[in-house]
Chain A
Amino acid sequence: MILPYILRRLAFLPLTLLLVALATFVVLRLTGNPVDIFLDINRTPEQVEALTKRLHLDLPIPAQFLLFLGELLHGDFGESLQFNGPAADVVWQRAGATLQLAGTALGLAVVLGVAGGIACAVWRDRAADAVISSIAVAGQSMPSFWLGMLLIEFFALQMRWLPTSGYGEPRHLVLPAITLATILLPNFVLITRTSIIELMGEQFVVTGRSKGMSRARVLLTHILPNAVNPVLSFLGIQIGTLMAGSIVTETIYAWPGVGRLLINSIFHRDVPVVEAAVFFIATIIALSNLAVDVLQMLIDPRIRRA
């Protein structure tokens, strides 16, 4: 019963990725000629010709796109212009760092956000709610890179507890993960709070209470299981925000991930790497959304029947 659904959703995946490929291609061909930007003034005509050939710039645009798609099917984005080696490999080498950072941050944001949201809903309109909700709204107003700078200022420069940047050991991960988590955290607090408060007015909750169940029991057995799905679907939407935030966070902390590579490659007009990086990010988002959809179906029988 679930399998056909998953297969149907999987069938849409190539379509989504095709759109992403098209968007990336169109935007990057607007940037001007990579040959002009990449080669310096002392270039020889032979160099120009070689690079033009390598990027297929001598062919008409539709043909370029078809070639691009064909290569894409083989996982081939062409050779990187900055680094020697295939663009796909360059991106792939940095994928681990990005997934590590994004995964840790997402975990932090979900756990703390859901806990905070539950606290807000349970103590609604009391001091705890006012404080947590206000901090959440303030957090939504905080430019993440400024938070990153404040954390560096305090924990790295003043207290010297943690490194300002670097990669490899767990202590390098602390500040970047906190920074990235803070982008999502307020949203999770507010959405969890709203979902639970909404559920508190439902008939099955009122009935439970009037039968004499304790507040805690109603919360555990009636409200929380029903709050999982709205929070999950929100999580699906937030994956895009997470990946976007990861670009900024990686730039602040010089984290060797795909996001920083992307920005760096944009400045160097390293078109193949930019294409591969954008494609990687879009694929992560599409796959995560698929995973969220499937999870929701496994959890909630109502979605399965619909």
Chain B
Amino acid sequence: MKKRKKRLFGKRFKITVGGTLLAVAVLCAIFAPLIAPWDPDQQDLMARLKPGFWSDKAVPGHFLGTDNYGRDLLSRLIYGSRLSILVGVSSMLLSALIGSTAGVIAGLKGGKTEQAIMRFADAQMAFPDILLAILMVAALGGNALNLILVLGISRWMVYARVVFGLTRSLKQRPFVEAATLYGGGDFYVMYRHIVPQVAPVLIVVATLQVAQMILQETALSFLGLGLPPPAATWGNILAEGNTRLFIAPWIANFAGLSIIALVWGVNMLGNGLREHYDPKMIGR
């Protein structure tokens, strides 16, 4: 057999690049008030829809130009990273918590509990998550908390399935059986023996899910079902840009670039971590 060539993009490359992009976005979000040159909601109706540094019609001080109300696009994008990351990460945490708890319980208990949990997960899998999210946001109204709740509930099955499979195989391993025989209760076994084993896989799945959540949030905002308009989220900025595509294409373009940079970074990080934790996956 021919000796395999070295992979062009190794896991170290993926983790470094992905991690860096994510870190930059998180730093922007945390230090938004320090970095952003303007107040993201400050309107300047004399400087509406002005292009940025690339044009000679640019207004000084607005590096990436302004939107329809004369608000500074760069500042809005920097502040927008706050809500996008907050919603993405919180809804990931919520769905990971619901999903992995359900998965561990189904795996440990088996029988009817397992049937009930996993069949419900299957049923929800068959229903498009964004459709569920659309209906729930329409029903509950769009604010950050609702968005996190809705996205969290719409994706828990992903974790439940992965964790369930792992738990079921772990349950038969000697160290888990021993712990149970020594009188360890369900919670003890779960917390001390199952969760540490499942954690690496969970981290990988969770990372990739953050990317999905951020995309879902922007899609909901685009459909007009995200956070209500004055709020600066990337999805909102993109949706506003869409209505002015012809006269001010830069609004949509920079919002889109921000989203793809962050989501791609998170995806790279997740893929890199997957290769790191699971040697079987290398080469896929």
Q: A-side interface residues toward B, CB under 8 Å?
A: 16, 19-20, 23-24, 27-28, 30-31, 124-127, 130, 134, 137-138, 140-146, 149-150, 152-153, 157, 193-194, 197, 237, 240-241, 243-244, 247-248, 251-252, 262-263, 266-267, 274, 278, 281-282, 285-286, 289
* Contacts known (A140-B267, A194-B284, A263-B223); A240 close to B256, Cβ less than 8 A: no
Q: Which residue of A lies closest to B281 (CB)?
A: A194
Q: Which of B41-49, B107-115, B239-247 lies on the face that meets chain A?
A: B239-247
Best-surrounded residue of A145, A266, A281, A286 (most CB of chain B within 10 A): A145
State in angstroms the CA–CA spacing of A80 and B238 once bound together: 32
Q: Which residue of B lies closest to A289 (CB)?
A: B126
| Chain B positions within 8 Å of A194 at CB level | 284
| Chain B positions within 8 Å of A24 at CB level | 135
* Contacts known (A27-B136, A31-B138, A149-B252); A240 close to B260, Cβ less than 8 A: no
Q: Which residue of B lies closest to A198 (CB)?
A: B284
State in angstroms the CA–CA spacing of A266 and B9 once bound together: 45
State in angstroms the CA–CA spacing of A142 and B262 once bound together: 10
Question: Which residues B198-219 have CB closer than 8 A to chain A?
Answer: 211, 215, 218-219
State in angstroms the CA–CA spacing of A204 and B25 once bound together: 48
Best-surrounded residue of B4, B127, B264, B267 (most CB of chain A within 10 A): B127
Evaluate contact between B139 and A31: CB separation under 8 angstroms.
yes
Interface flag for B222 (CB, 8 Å): yes
Nearest Cβ distance between residue B49 and chain A, in whole angstroms?
A: 16
Nearest Cβ distance between residue A86 and chain B, in whole angstroms?
A: 21
Interface residue count for B (Cβ, 8 Å)?
49
| Chain B positions within 8 Å of A153 at CB level | 245, 249, 252
Interface flag for B259 (CB, 8 Å): yes
State in angstroms the CA–CA spacing of A263 and B226 once bound together: 13
Evaluate contact between A152 and B245: CB separation under 8 angstroms.
yes
Q: B-side interface residues toward A, CB under 8 Å?
A: 4-9, 123, 125-132, 134-136, 138-140, 211, 215, 218-219, 222-225, 238, 241-242, 245-246, 249, 252-253, 255-256, 259-260, 263-264, 266-268, 271, 283-284
State in angstroms the CA–CA spacing of A289 and B127 once bound together: 12
State in angstroms the CA–CA spacing of A138 and B123 once bound together: 30
Best-surrounded residue of B5, B139, B255, B263 (most CB of chain A within 10 A): B139
* Contacts known (A134-B9, A140-B267, A141-B260); A157 close to B128, Cβ less than 8 A: no
| Chain A positions within 8 Å of B131 at CB level | 243-244, 247, 278, 281
| Chain B positions within 8 Å of A274 at CB level | 135
Q: What are the 9 A-B residue pairs with the smallest beta carbon separation, nearest first? A: A146-B256, A141-B264, A244-B128, A30-B139, A141-B263, A130-B8, A240-B128, A244-B130, A27-B135
State in angstroms the CA–CA spacing of A144 and B7 once bound together: 29
Task: List 11 other contacts, CB 8 Å, given A145-B219, A146-B255.
Answer: A125-B6, A125-B283, A141-B215, A149-B245, A194-B284, A240-B128, A240-B129, A244-B129, A247-B223, A263-B223, A266-B135
* Contacts known (A127-B8, A152-B245); A27 close to B128, Cβ less than 8 A: no
| Chain A positions within 8 Å of B260 at CB level | 138, 141-143, 146
State in angstroms the CA–CA spacing of A42 and B81 once bound together: 43
| Chain A positions within 8 Å of B135 at CB level | 24, 27-28, 266, 274, 278
Q: Which residue of A lies closest to B239 (CB)?
A: A145
| Chain A positions within 8 Å of B129 at CB level | 240, 244
State in angstroms the CA–CA spacing of A125 and B5 once bound together: 7
Nearest Cβ distance between residue B204 and chain A, in whole angstroms?
A: 15
Q: Which residue of B lies closest to A19 (CB)?
A: B123
Evaluate contact between B5 and A149: CB separation under 8 angstroms.
no
| Chain A positions within 8 Å of B140 at CB level | 30
14 of the cross-chain contacts (CB-CB < 8 Å) are A23-B132, A28-B135, A30-B140, A125-B6, A138-B264, A141-B264, A143-B219, A146-B252, A146-B260, A237-B125, A243-B128, A274-B135, A285-B127, A285-B128
State in angstroms the CA–CA spacing of A144 and B242 once bound together: 13
